[in-house]
Chain A
């Protein structure tokens, strides 16, 4: 019972963190997005086929919090794209393993994209394959691999998922 209760609490904690994560991307300006990660984090966006075949490259491939900051800086200051936003719907995290203050979890998501001159489109579905470091009140991502279900990406991928 004690273990089940702990899992439940951790699931709640990760859910809350991920709700904030989605809000920062969808309704914020992403500038606080890197703060969901530890300093020497790893973040990659790939597809289910690449992931299954152990192909290493990503649509984004970053191995430090500073690289995440650079991504947002570039998106806000340098890159050119039509105004658009995302709407993440994030499922319940499945915590597959707990090891000391770290845990592995997987969470399904769907992301709609709203572009300036168009309707709401279904942009991406997939799962987060995560490793978190947990404290009493928070959890930070050590590693997040965003595994897109489809290998097809419409138009471009700007903001993080």
Chain B
């Protein structure tokens, strides 16, 4: 045995002991795994968020989005139905839609003018019969054999999801009743209005951001704006819900006035940065209005693999997590309110949106923390993260000092990926 053999690269493998408690760092850098994620997750039997239904109001409306790295067009056809298909010409693969949104009668490729209808079917070929009896498409060519891949589409509470797998479980079954109910809680039959769209480029593997959204433990520690102004102490009433498969979750907290007294010192005892003497000069930032029947002021909901629905007081948004290589991702934010907002309510939402997004008081740290992990672990692919907060179970619980929802994500991930 060569004395250097102990430095040879080990074949990456998941630690077998202890269930879902160790996450090897090669998970965030391995190119083969990344390619497998494209096949098994984003092109496989998962539901991916596409857009808000309200973005497709009338026939001909379309939005151009992504499922994983795959460009996808979502449309409303003249039959009133919603359709989704790859943004890829049947002919030679060019993008069909070159705008983010709009209203069209069909999609004609700019390259050779092959035409696709609003459901993605190839319906026209330029110079199909040639000119003057010369040229034209091959005699045996069949337009219906050729076309961009279609997605199955499902709508839940005004959220449009799509899957490349025709045989996937129904969306409601995929999510489970508790997640479905918590989505309904936020949308509540109301008609959303888009208030703004932003894309954040994060310097980390997409799964590090997924972990972050499911990490109820970090919220009031990393994001000191909340603790400083006593918006979201862990001593507040709250909890998490993890769905049966593990990969979708809800974390929530509610105002608990009775619990406020006597718990002021919890954070200082834990050596957590918290400046209780800091005061906002303009408290209108936090001016919220009663929007829901319960006392829940914060609800972060995720759907496997890459969707987040956020309620932070009255700041509502959907986020889509899009992989862009092993060490980069795009995070698409769509802020929304509702059609029946009063001007005062709308203004409150716009002010509270200062809390969220790429520059948000309680979210800007999430823009850099994944990069810190990516950089911290790049030289240690065979070392591993530990998820031991709240024990090792993957259960719903009535506290948030737990990593159960992160373990849940990895359980579903490993089952679907076969790793």
Contact = CB atoms under 8 A, between A and B. Distances in A.
A73 B197 CA distance: 27
Contact of A55 (B100, B197, B375): B197
A155 B368 contact: yes
Contacts of A66: 281-282
A151 to B, nearest CB: 5
Contacts of B124: none
A62 B280 CA distance: 13
Contacts of A158: 359, 364
A158 B199 CA distance: 15
Interface of B is mostly: mixed
Interface in A67-122: 67, 69-71, 73-74, 77-82, 117
Contact of B197 (A64, A74, A151): A151
Contacts of B346: 56
A70 B198 contact: no
Contacts of A152: 199-201, 330
By size class, the interface of chain B is 35 or more
B194 to A, nearest CB: 6
A63 B348 CA distance: 11
A65 to B, nearest CB: 8
Given A55-B196, A58-B350, A61-B351, A153 B201 contact: yes
Interface stretch (B106-114, B220-228, B380-388): B220-228
29 contacts: A47-B197, A55-B196, A56-B196, A57-B195, A58-B196, A58-B350, A61-B350, A61-B354, A66-B281, A66-B282, A67-B281, A70-B282, A74-B225, A79-B224, A79-B365, A80-B368, A81-B368, A82-B368, A117-B375, A153-B200, A153-B201, A153-B358, A155-B201, A155-B202, A155-B203, A156-B358, A156-B368, A157-B359, A157-B364
Interface of B: 100, 194-203, 222-225, 228, 275, 278, 280-282, 284-285, 330, 335, 346, 349-351, 353-354, 357-359, 361, 364-365, 367-368, 371-372, 375
